[in-house]
Amino acid sequence: MRRLNLLLLLLACGVANPASMAPIVSPSSANPASFAPAGGAFQTGGAPTFRYTIVQTGATILPGGTFTMPATKVGSSSAIQFQAQNTGSAPATVNRIAFSAMVFELIDVPELPVSLDPGSSLTFTIQFMPDTPGFAKGALDIDGSDFTVQAFGMVGGVTISGPGATVPPAQQPMVGVTLDAAYKILISGKLILSFSSVLGDDPAVQFAGGRAVDFTVPINSKQAMFGTANQIAFQSGTVAGTISFTVTLQASGTDMTPLPAPSFSTQVSPAAPVINSIAIKRTGTGFELSLVAFATSKAINKADFQLTPSGTGNLQTSSISLDVGTLFADWYKGASSTPFGSLFALTVPFTVNGNISAIRSVSATLTNAQGTSNSMSALP
């Protein structure tokens, strides 16, 4: 702390006519000088002198100054110790200690008046107990030395609910936000979604309008409302990874987010491939089979096809297996796959020597390290 040094110089000048010299006024007990250096109140002439300190931080507070209590959740409390020390050379008496705000309470105040010898002090506790979110302000009065006390009441607990510890891929689960208590103010907020994976981002993981959505908590309500609904859907995507949600809150333009910010996470797990659709188109030499599918692990090792005979003609080949590991590894490494997560369309051409009517249907499965997909079939 910077020290301010004050120097008082009284200069006496000789005059030719003493009778015309103006009277010289010097300090006396009837008119004591008063100084206030940065280290605390300091007075001369016999008046009491005190230094006021926040015990936890060691910060000195000058009369007329402001100090801040720790931010505190509604329904709980925080406290600091305030100390008044007699820094003068004579005993001093403290006659009054008072507070003006209901959400603050003075604790362990000694019975007054209290006489303090030079160097001795008294200590008491100021407790903050917010009953609603937002700023609170009070005035501490110690024998006419006034201090402004300010604090901030935070929203208490916030619960993000809906999905469990894991969520299926390619679904639209619901998520909601609930406060632990109802408050007498309108609270607005934002639910923010993020996705992380060693396999890269999946842009499909989002709400309908992106990765953040606004909500309001009406007065005297605990439930966040997304428009007229108390929950909102999000897309879980098709890539294994962690979907995280965080909440921010504000009221009347003031941030009221608890610390740490409320959060929740759910997992999309690595799994066997899933085939969404299958289609067959005849060509001049046979047919093309097209699959739309995904694999949350971004890996597919094998594609198997089963040909079911129609009973017309002689079907000599009934099963075909393709090693597609390298094909899919290259696809998922490329930037072209990123916008689609793990979703892909696979087209496999088949050449038929003879009458294609010998084939009644073709079914397909896909396999990776996690297992084999569902089977889907189509007619050629």
Does the reported pTM lie above 0.85? no
- Which residues pair with residue 378 across a beta bridge? 362
Which residue type occupies 273? Answer: P
**What is the C-alpha separation between 81 and 94, in angstroms, rounded?**
17
In order of their start, the domains of the chain are: 36-154 (2.60.40.10), 158-268 (2.60.40.10), 274-378 (2.60.40.10)
Q: Are 198 and 257 in contact (CB under 8 A)?
A: no
pLDDT given at position 46? 52
pLDDT given at position 61? 96
CA distances from 282 to 35, 87, 293, 352 (A): 101, 100, 21, 10
pLDDT given at position 47? 61
236: closest CA among 247, 245, 223, 249? 245
What the block records as the tokens of 268 is: 């999309």
What the block records as the tokens of 147 is: 């201090």
pLDDT given at position 260? 87
**What is the C-alpha separation between 339 and 321, in angstroms, rounded?**
29
Report, as ranges of residue numbers, the positions in the chain whose pLDDT lies below 70: 1-47
Q: Are 141 and 98 in contact (CB under 8 A)?
A: yes
Measured from the Cβ of residue 22, the count of other Cβ atoms closer than 10 Å reads: 6
What is the SS3 string spanning the chain? CCCCCCCCCCCCCCCCCHHHCCCCCCCECCECCEECCCCCCEECCCCCCEEEEECCCCCECCCCCEEECCCEECCCCEEEEEEEEECCCCCEEECCEEECCCCEEEECCCCCCEEECCCCEEEEEEEECCCCCEEEEEEEEECCEEEEEEEEEECCCEEEECCCCECCCCCCCEEEEEECCCCCCCEEEEEEEEEECCCCCCCCCCECCECEEEEEECCCCCECEECCECCEECCCCCCCEEEEEEEEEEECCEECCCCCCCEEEEEECCCCCEEEEEEEEECCCEEEEEEEEECCCCCCCEEEEEEEECCCCCCCCCEEEEECHHHHHHHHHCHHHHHHCCCEEEEEEEECCCCHHHEEEEEEEEEECCEECCCEEECC
**What is the C-alpha separation between 41 and 292, in angstroms, rounded?**
79
**What is the C-alpha separation between 96 and 15, in angstroms, rounded?**
51
**What is the C-alpha separation between 69 and 92, in angstroms, rounded?**
28
pLDDT given at position 73? 86
**What is the C-alpha separation between 184 and 221, in angstroms, rounded?**
8
Strands 66-68 vs 145-154: parallel, antiparallel or unpaired: parallel
246: closest CA among 227, 232, 221, 264? 264
